[in-house]
Amino acid sequence: MSSTSTATAERPERATATGALVEFRGLRRAFGATVALDGLDLTARPGELLALLGPSGCGKTTALRVLAGFEQPDAGEVLVDGEDITRVPANRRDAGMVFQSYSLFPHLNARDNVAFGLRVRKVSAAERRARAAELLDLVGLPQHGDRFPHQMSGGQQQRVALARALALRPRVLLLDEPLSALDAKVRLTLREEIRRLQLSLGITTIFVTHDQEEALSMADRVAVLNAGRLEQCAPPAELYERPATPFVAEFVGAMNRLPGRLTDGGLVEVAGAELPVDGEIPAEREVEVLIRPENILATADPAGTATVVSASFFGSVTRVLLDLPGGGSVKSDVPSRDAGALTPGVRATVAPARRPVLVVPAAGKGA
């Protein structure tokens, strides 16, 4: 807590509760020819859970490692509560981290793993024990203090790692794909628990993931990174509903790319409908239109021109893949109770919902 109080003294207007303000400013980092970070600017607000989302190699892990002090940026700076920590060594950063791979010390049991940082700081044995017990309790493993890492499941190990990361009451919590090595069910429960813990502690958390579902379901805001740059940083709903760039549109959620033609008056003609255009309007008239599957209406119709190719049941919705007469195909999410007639081979009509759509030039980047 001491660190927080000093921060409070310096920047009283910013330090709310325990959450710290984290800023990346113009971060640049290249590994030989590959540019991992290409001028990244990003801010995590005090107490929020910010997810860094992007394809592999987009620089999200590098950004996190720069913040943890394991990677030095070629240019730019990292600020925590307004204080430049770019040159501070990793062991004095005051940021707890949970790693992607299991990172518990194999020779220590869960309690000693959690208390490791306290031991480094020469905290008394009794105090260490008490704090470790408290933290193991917090992550739901009060009975596991004596277990060694190899005696615990992956999920339990990551919980202990989380407890260890929180032991020193860090100002920032860094999660580097902590769930990616776990199986699906554990992943779901653990992500809810991480979120619950993060909210109750009010700690600023940066969560790196390549799993958009994880990012969208947990985070206050999601920052989508591509090729070392920030594409968009917005709350999950906004990211999904109003993607700022074609890359975000295609990376987050499923997306159809349909050939379209711009008409005069800012409309685009696609699949027999005229829709308003959202965002930038390209110079070319021949464009591709980005429409989400749930905004494509498909109905069984013997006179229809599209043909159902396949239908995958996803619970409440069924995703139907249809072949279009002019070549190409389209995905449509149909409520499952209406999808009974849409079996492979059936003729159907396809119509886009009347909503603003994003368009990209026809020869647009095939992201």
Partner 1 sequence: MAALTPTATPAAPAPAAPRKARDGGAARARRRPRVWRGAVLFLAGLYFLVPLLSSFVFTVRIPGQGLTFDAYTGILSAEGFTESLLLSLGLAAATILLALLLTVPALVAVRLGAPRLAPLVEIVCMLPLVVPPIALVTGVTTVLRWGPDHLSRTPLYQTFLAVQNESFPVVLVLAYTVLALPFVYRSLDAGLRAIDVPTLVEAARNCGASRPYVILRVILPNLRSSLAGASFLTLALVLGEFTIASLLGFRPFAVWIVTVSGAEARMSVAVSLLSLLITWALLLVLSRAGTRASSAAAPAPPAASAPSTAPAPAASSVSGKE
Q: Which of 46, 47, 59, 69 binds partner 1 (CB under 8 A)?
A: 69
| Minimum distance from residue 149 beta carbon to partner 1 (Å) | 7
Q: Pull the structure tokens for residue 214.
A: 């994880």
Q: Which is nearer to partner 1, 116 or 247 (CB)?
A: 116
Closest CA to 58 of 230, 206, 222, 211: 230
Within 10 Å of residue 38's Cβ, how many Cβ atoms? 17
Among 87, 150, 337, 365, binds partner 1 (CB under 8 A): 150
DSSP state of 11: -
Return the closest-CA partner of residue 165 out of 157, 173, 153.
Answer: 173
Q: Quick check: 205 binds partner 1 (CB under 8 A)?
A: no
Q: Give the residue with the Cβ less far from partner 1, 116 or 251.
A: 116
CB 342 within 8 A of CB 311: yes
Distance CA 46, CA 266 (A): 41
Tell me: does residue 87 bind partner 1 (CB under 8 A): no
Q: Which of 64, 68, 248, 262 binds partner 1 (CB under 8 A)?
A: 68
Return the number of the residue (105 or 313) whose C-beta is nearest partner 1: 105
DSSP-derived letter for residue 20 is -
Which residue in this structure is represented by tokens 């920052």? 223
> Should residue 60 be labelled a site residue for partner 1 when binding is judged by CB under 8 A?
no
Among residues 73, 117, 178, 293, the one that binds partner 1 under rule CB under 8 A? 117
Interaction of residue 92 with partner 1, rule CB under 8 A: yes
Q: Name the one range near partner 1 by CB under 8 A: 56-64, 162-170, 213-221, 301-309.
A: 162-170
Q: Which stretch binds partner 1 (CB under 8 A): 105-113, 250-258, 307-315, 320-328?
A: 105-113
Does 136 contact partner 1 by CB under 8 A? no
Stretch that binds partner 1, among 20-28, 34-42, 99-107, 242-250 (CB under 8 A): 99-107
Binding segment for partner 1 among 40-48, 103-111, 183-191, 272-280 (CB under 8 A)? Answer: 103-111
Residue 31 engages partner 1 in binding (rule: CB under 8 A): no
Residue closest to 80 by CA, chosen among 164, 172, 9, 183 = 172
1, 2, 5, 107: which one binds partner 1 (CB under 8 A): 107
Judged by beta carbon, residue 104 or residue 271, the one nearer partner 1 is 104
Does residue number 167 form part of the binding site for partner 1 (CB under 8 A)?
Answer: yes
CB of 132 to partner 1, least distance (A): 12
341 touching partner 1, by CB under 8 A: no
Candidates 367, 360, 193; CA nearest to 286 is 360
- For partner 1, the closer CB: 106 or 302: 106
Judged by CB, which is closer to partner 1: 165, or 320?
165
Quote the least distance from Cβ 121 to partner 1, whole Å. 6
Q: Which of 19, 40, 116, 334 binds partner 1 (CB under 8 A)?
A: 116
Binding residue count for partner 1, defined by CB under 8 A: 32
CB of 90: closest distance to partner 1 in angstroms?
4
Binding stretches for partner 1 (CB under 8 A)? 68-70, 89-93, 95-97, 99, 101-108, 116-117, 120-121, 148-150, 161, 164-165, 167-168
